[in-house]
Amino acid sequence: MARKASLSLVPGGMDERLSHAAFVEEIELANGRLRYKLITGSGPETGWVSTRLYGKDLLRRFLKVREAAAPEKQQWRE
């Protein structure tokens, strides 16, 4: 999955990719774009990714079960 350094979809962003099955933490979600922090896997430590492309989900959401004190935090998996 390609990532960008900013929320903008304008060409010219970063072209580094998250590895398949990488886990990321949601920092912000806006207009179908997810700002993330890498938890496991390889790829950029932070960035923005699209959550859907051509009607297909690019990420799956997983709730962090072990962090009951912070239920608003969520993890995503490519």
Q: DSSP string of 12-56?
A: SS---BPPTT-EEEEEEEETTEEEEEEEESSS-SEEEEESEETTE
Instruction: Supply the range of the domain harboring residue 40.
Output: 23-77
Residue 8, domain member (yes or no): no
How many separate domains does the chain show?
1
What are 20-59's pLDDT values in tens digits?
Answer: 888 899 999 999 999 999 998 999 999 999 999 999 999 9
Q: Give 61's pLDDT tier (boundaries 50, 70, 90).
A: confident
pLDDT, position 63? 75
Residue 10, domain member (yes or no): no
Residue 7, domain member (yes or no): no
pLDDT of 10 over the 70 cut: no
pLDDT, position 33? 95
- Looking at the whole model, is its pTM more than 0.75? no
